[in-house]
Amino acid sequence: MQNKGAIRLFAILLALACAYYLMFTWVASGIEFWCGKYIS
């Protein structure tokens, strides 16, 4: 149980990295949506 802090830090960093990449996915899908509406 000595590495509890390290495991928690790793989990938080992993969650932040996932949120960072998901944010770009949502932004890109939003841009695709608006481009599709603009073209048609």
What is residue 30's predicted lDDT score, i.e. its pLDDT? 81
Mean pLDDT by 10 residues, the chain (40 residues): 86 95 84 78
> pTM of the predicted model, to two decimals?
0.60
DSSP string, 11-26: HHHHHHHHHHHHHHHH
Q: From CA 1, how far away is CA 3, in angstroms rounded?
A: 6
Residue 16's pLDDT is: 96
Amino acid 8: pLDDT: 95
**What is the per-residue pLDDT for 40?**
65
Give pLDDT, residue 6. 92
- Count the domains in the chain: 1
Q: Tokens 């481009």 label which residue? A: 35
Range of the domain at 31: 1-40
